[in-house]
């Protein structure tokens, strides 16, 4: 298995299995150069293949760069989870305020009962390397601690005092150490070993890649608005993840099954609406997080400026030692704490220093002493909280690129995108001398494959028939026999009319390419051949039809019915021919008017779709109720269809269905502009062409191109 992912920021990812590892590595070295290799990522997959030895439960991702010196990288962070080896060094626990103790053996073996953020480690307060000018002594809780010659404190005396006042010093034997809590650096960097990336039990596609793997690759190497290319689409996981995280994307596949799955997946999904840094809401959120005044600069909603991300503190000894606000907070609270301590000492006849005052009051104390004791501890705890808040606010921080702030009042759906089929293409091969040559399409092997495809289509056509927009209007063949034509490959017979007048009709059957598009010249030639052989109608079966073929519906006396083949037919080996599926559906010519809206603008009105009725042999126009949705490309370039206008007619109550799908209230005035059979006015196209795509309730579509001057 191999999957590729490329970003416009210069990174290339190749997902491979164990069996292809060495070959893929050699190929990537040859293409990009071994010096552009960045790292080999190992990730956990859903399952492994059992054999005679250890079961393989990992796949690999090769990360290369076009130019490693210019490749973009955003460090991703993971939380320290219970049981993770990164917590092993945090072997102390804060039992209560200002009291820590070592973990016992049971807690080291099973830490599930512990609050992770209360775990800490005791690290040295000195470093190697002597300094004659600096003092090697420091007084902590009335005792002088010294460090040996050849070492120095990690900060000066003023910094040590701030660390002391922040309650970050702990004595251990004859030395003092710095208390570092898990919450100081609550996240750890993502490494080259990715765990918990399994897909789960539900797969959309046989080679579907875990979305978590794709997400990490994108977030590490791209920003909002960057472009991602996946040349092996599959179920569309890359496009789905890129759309979710505000990246532009291009995805490609030779299988129509894959494209159909990807399109349905992207269009049917709901995405979170993240706060853009270049928005007023984003500016206000950033100001709230950083505790600063919001800027007054204008915003444009540019996604390339990024999102407003959550962030975590990165508290260091140096940051605490340089935080001048600690002394200010200390002095402020001392004005209250010192008088309380002196009164308490006087009543209970003690000479307690601050660190000696017990946490619990003695039952024999008078009520006044108990009240003073309670008030003193309340002020002590408040001082510590204010100092901790100051440390967190002034410390360095790291962005969580996978946690942008979300606006839960808004729901986002997929932006405009296009799915275009390609015309049949030629395949060029290389001989033993590295010379290009074109393979002969009529080779025995190629002919055999084509013959099998045609036979499979005819078998399913005989079983399933051809479905119209209405269930009662269906062409059921009494027989289908091969026909020795150039384009017409079979003769199908069906009856037309009602019980009083039944006529048998002969249909010429034309089958388009397995991987390609039926073009208008193909239809013209097939219809001419059908007329010469005295057929009554031509039924052209294809997976897709080009824009110009939609305008062709009759040649002389021969009606041309275009039956769109269901993508399920690509999975013929697994398809169960029950005769109940809509494998062949005729979706006729859309009835469309172009209206002059004045001021150089036009409107499009859709009246319905022309439908062939086999009972009468007539082509009648059905109303707009047979249309699920329709789209307009107001600047069609004859290459790609871009949805610039979208309208949803739907059956029953589409407004209610939309609210249910989005799980949100929809503005009825805004919905009325979308639930319409007439478009909003738009400027005449500079290209001189517009294209209208109509989709029925079965998911079949037809596109028609109009010249507009």
**What is the domain-level CATH number for residue 646?**
2.60.40
Q: Are residues 461 and 550 in the same domain?
A: yes
Q: At 585, give phi and psi (nearest 5°).
A: -130, 130
pLDDT for the residue 222: 94
Give the model's pLDDT for residue 197. Answer: 64
pLDDT band at 432 (very low <50, low <70, confident <90, very high): low
Which has more confidence, 51 or 236?
A: 236
Question: In this structure, are 265 and 286 located in the same domain?
Answer: no
| 405 in the same domain as 287 | yes
Higher-confidence position of 702 and 653: 702
Q: Which long-range contacts (CB under 8 A, 24 or more apart) does 299-302 make?
A: 301/276, 302/225, 302/276, 302/278
Give tens-digit pLDDT for 110-124: 888 888 888 899 999
Residue indicated by tokens 């009606």: 559
Are both 59 and 150 inside the same structural domain? no
Joined together, the tokens standing for residue 443 give 């080779």
Residue whose tokens read 């037919």: 569
CA angle in degrees (0–180, nearest 5) for 612-613-618? 75
Over range 73-79, report the average pLDDT.
91
The DSSP code sequence of 456-491 is HHHHHHHHH-EE-SSTT-EE--SEEEE---SSEEEE
Q: Which residues, at least 6 apart from 361, have a Cβ–Cβ distance to it below 8 Å? A: 369, 370, 373, 374
pLDDT given at position 534? 93
pLDDT above 70 for 437: no
Work out the average pLDDT over 590-608.
88
Looking at the fold, whether 400 and 309 belong to one and the same domain comes out as: yes
Instruction: Look at residue 9 in the predicted model and tell me its pLDDT.
Output: 79
pLDDT of residue 684: 92
∠ CA 180-396-141 to the nearest 5 degrees? 35
Residues in Cβ contact with 671 at an 8 Å cutoff, skipping those fewer than 6 apart: 655, 658
How many angstroms separate the CA atoms of 9 and 67, rounded? 10
Q: How large is the average pLDDT for residues 380-401?
A: 91
Q: What is the pLDDT of residue 198?
A: 56
- pLDDT category of residue 277 using cuts at 50, 70 and 90: very high
The yes-or-no verdict on residue 352 having pLDDT over 80 is yes
Q: Has residue 574 been placed in a domain?
A: no
User: Residue 65 and residue 221: Cα distance in Å, rounded?
Assistant: 10
Query: What is the DSSP-derived secondary structure letter of residue 307?
Result: B
What pLDDT is stored for residue 423 in this prediction?
42
Where a domain ends, among 238, 269, 300?
269
63 and 199 within one domain: yes
Q: Classify residue 679: in a domain, yes or no.
A: yes
Instruction: State how far the Cα of 417 lies from the Cα of 644, in Å rounded to an integer.
Output: 9
Tell me, yes or no, whether 172 and 65 share the same domain: no
pLDDT band at 666 (very low <50, low <70, confident <90, very high): low
Q: How far is 569 from 557, CA to CA, in rounded Å?
A: 31
pLDDT tier at 278 (50, 70, 90 boundaries)? very high
pLDDT band at 1 (very low <50, low <70, confident <90, very high): very low
pLDDT at 315: 92
DSSP secondary-structure letter at 56? P
- Work out the average pLDDT over 601-612: 82
Structural domain includes residue 330: yes
Q: What span, in angstroms and rounded, lies between the C-alpha atoms of 111 and 87?
A: 10
Query: Which pLDDT does position 439 carry in this prediction?
Result: 43
Report the mean per-residue pLDDT for the chain.
Answer: 82
The position carrying tokens 């729901």 is: 411
Tokens of 487: 């384009």
Do 452 and 445 meet the contact criterion of CB atoms below 8 Å apart? Answer: no
Which of 331, 363, 394 terminates a domain? The answer is 394
* Predicted confidence (pLDDT) at residue 258 exceeds the cutoff of 80: no
Per-residue pLDDT, averaged over 19-24, amounts to 84
DSSP 553: -
Give the CATH number, domain containing residue 45: 3.40.50.150
The model's pLDDT over 32-45, given as tens digits with 9 standing for 90+, comes to 999 999 999 998 87
What domain count does the chain have? Answer: 6
Are 450 and 525 contained in the same domain? yes
Give the global pTM. Answer: 0.65
The region of weakest confidence among 165-179, 326-340, 490-504 is: 490-504
Cα 677 to Cα 165, 391, 449, 685, 700, distances in angstroms: 72, 61, 44, 20, 18
The pLDDT value given to residue 675 = 80
Predicted confidence band of residue 578 (pLDDT cuts 50, 70, 90)? very low
Least confident of 24-38, 267-281, 422-436: 422-436
| Buried/exposed 682-701: b ≥16 CB within 10 Å, e otherwise | bebbeeebbbbbbbbebbbb
- Domain boundary (138, 165, 185) is at 185
Between 44 and 510, the higher pLDDT residue: 510
What value does the CA radius of gyration of the chain take, rounded to a whole number of Å? 36
pLDDT at 360 over 80: yes
> Could you tell me what percent of the chain has a pLDDT over 90?
37
Domain of residue 306 covers 280-316+396-412
pLDDT at 441 over 60: no
- Please tell me whether residues 694 and 651 are part of one structural domain: yes
459 plus 553 within the same structural domain: yes
Q: Is the pLDDT of residue 31 over 60?
A: yes
Give the whole-number percent of the chain exceeding pLDDT 70. Answer: 81
The answer to whether residue 432 is domain-embedded is no
Report the DSSP beta bridge partners of residue 120: 92, 181
The encoded tokens of residue 390 equal 């100051």
Residue range 145-150: mean pLDDT, rounded: 88
Rounded mean pLDDT, 20-40:
90
d(CA 284, CA 294): 6
Question: Which CATH number does the domain housing residue 489 bear?
Answer: 3.40.1340
Return the pLDDT at 133.
Answer: 65
Which has the minimum average pLDDT: 78-87, 282-291, 330-339, 379-388?
Answer: 78-87
Residue with the bigger pLDDT between 657 and 176: it is: 176
CA distance 367 to 365: 6
pLDDT band (50, 70, 90) for residue 76: very high
Measured distance CA(124)–CA(141) in Å, rounded:
18
Cα 265 from Cα 239, distance rounded (Å): 9
Which has the closest alpha carbon to 607: 678, 679, 548? 678
pLDDT digits 0-9 by tens, 93-113: 988 778 889 999 888 888 888
Lowest-confidence segment of 85-89, 170-174, 658-662 by average pLDDT = 658-662
Q: Do 541 and 406 share a structural domain?
A: no
Q: How far is CA 141 from CA 102, 171, 335, 492, in A?
A: 21, 9, 20, 100
Q: Is residue 422 part of a domain?
A: no
Q: Does 205 score more than 50 pLDDT? A: no
Q: Judge whether 360 lies within some domain.
A: yes
Query: Is the pLDDT score of 492 beyond 60?
Result: yes
Instruction: Confirm whether 65 is domain-assigned.
Output: yes
CB atoms within 10 A of CB 426: 7
- Are 16 and 1 spatial neighbours (Cβ–Cβ below 8 Å)? yes
Please give the pLDDT value at position 604. Answer: 92
Question: Does residue 478 lie within any of the structural domains?
Answer: no
The DSSP letter of residue 437 is E
Residue 466 has pLDDT above 60, yes or no: yes
State how far the Cα of 435 lies from the Cα of 431, in Å rounded to an integer.
5
Question: Do 122 and 204 share a domain, yes or no?
Answer: no
Highest mean pLDDT range out of 166-170, 443-447, 459-463? 166-170
């Amino acid at each position: 298995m191999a999957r590729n992912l490329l970003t416009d920021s210069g990174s290339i990812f190749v997902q491979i299995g164990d069996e292809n590892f060495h070959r893929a590595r050699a190929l990537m070295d040859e293409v990009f150069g071994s010096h552009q290799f960045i790292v080999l990522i190992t990730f956990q997959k859903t399952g492994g293949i059992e054999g005679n030895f250890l079961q393989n439960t990992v796949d690999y991702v090769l990360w290369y760069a076009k130019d490693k010196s210019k490749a973009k990288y955003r460090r991703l962070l993971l939380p320290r989870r219970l049981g993770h080896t990164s917590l092993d060094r945090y072997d102390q626990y804060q039992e209560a305020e200002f009291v820590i103790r070592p973990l016992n053996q049971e807690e080291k073996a099973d830490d599930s009962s512990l609050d992770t953020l209360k775990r800490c480690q005791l690290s040295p307060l000195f470093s190697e390397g002597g300094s004659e000018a600096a003092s090697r002594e420091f007084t902590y809780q009335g005792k002088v601690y010294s460090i040996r010659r050849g070492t120095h404190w990690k900060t000066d005396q003023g910094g040590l005092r701030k660390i002391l006042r922040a309650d970050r010093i702990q004595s251990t034997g004859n030395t003092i150490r710095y208390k570092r809590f898990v919450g100081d650096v609550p996240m750890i960097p993502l490494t080259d070993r990715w765990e918990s990336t399994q897909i789960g039990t539900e797969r959309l596609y046989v080679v579907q890649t875990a979305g978590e793997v794709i997400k990490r690759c994108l977030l590490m190497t791209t920003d909002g608005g960057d472009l991602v290319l996946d040349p092996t689409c599959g179920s569309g996981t890359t496009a789905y993840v890129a759309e979710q995280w505000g990246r532009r994307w291009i995805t490609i596949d030779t299988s129509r099954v894959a494209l159909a799955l990807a399109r349905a997946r992207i269009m049917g999904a709901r995405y979170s609406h993240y706060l853009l840094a270049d928005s007023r809401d984003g500016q206000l959120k950033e100001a709230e997080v950083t505790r600063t005044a919001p800027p007054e600069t204008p915003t444009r909603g540019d996604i390339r400026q990024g999102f407003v991300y959550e962030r975590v503190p990165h508290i260091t000894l140096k940051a605490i030692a340089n935080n001048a606000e600690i002394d200010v907070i200390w002095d402020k609270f001392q004005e209250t704490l010192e008088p309380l301590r002196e009164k308490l000492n006087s009543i209970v006849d003690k000479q307690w220093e601050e660190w000696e005052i017990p946490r619990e009051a003695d039952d024999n104390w008078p009520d006044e002493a108990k009240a003073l004791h309670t008030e003193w501890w309340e002020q002590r705890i408040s001082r510590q909280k204010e100092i901790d808040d100051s440390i967190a606010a002034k410390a360095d921080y790291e962005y969580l690129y996978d946690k942008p702030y979300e606006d839960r009042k808004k729901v986002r759906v997929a932006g405009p995108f296009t799915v275009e089929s390609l015309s049949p293409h030629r395949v060029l091969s290389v001989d033993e001398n590295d010379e290009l040559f074109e393979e002969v399409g009529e080779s025995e092997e190629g002919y055999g494959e084509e013959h099998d495809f045609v036979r499979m289509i005819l078998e399913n056509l005989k079983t399933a028939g051809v479905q119209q927009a209405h269930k009662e209007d269906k062409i059921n063949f009494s027989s289908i026999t091969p026909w020795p034509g150039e384009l017409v490959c079979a003769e199908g017979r069906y009856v037309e009319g009602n019980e009083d007048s039944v006529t048998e009709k002969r249909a010429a059957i034309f089958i388009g390419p397995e991987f390609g598009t039926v073009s208008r010249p193909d239809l013209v030639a097939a219809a001419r051949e059908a007329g010469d052989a005295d057929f009554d109608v031509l039924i052209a079966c294809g997976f897709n039809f080009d824009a110009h073929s939609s305008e062709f519906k009759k040649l002389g006396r021969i009606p041309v019915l275009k039956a769109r083949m269901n993508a399920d037919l690509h999975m013929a080996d697994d398809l169960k021919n029950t005769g109940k599926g809509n494998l062949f559906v005729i979706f006729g010519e859309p009835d469309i008017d172009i209206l002059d809206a004045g001021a150089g603008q036009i409107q499009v009105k859709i009246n319905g779709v022309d439908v062939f009725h086999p009972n009468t042999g007539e082509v009648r126009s059905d109303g707009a109720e047979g249309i699920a949705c329709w789209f307009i490309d107001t600047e069609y370039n004859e290459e790609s269809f871009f949805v610039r206008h979208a309208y949803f007619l739907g059956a029953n109550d589409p407004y209610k269905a939309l609210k249910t799908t989005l799980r949100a209230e929809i503005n009825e005035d805004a919905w009325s502009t979308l639930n319409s059979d007439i478009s909003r006015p738009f400027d005449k196209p500079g290209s001189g062409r517009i294209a209208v795509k109509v989709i029925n309730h079965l998911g079949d579509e037809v596109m028609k191109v109009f010249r507009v001057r």
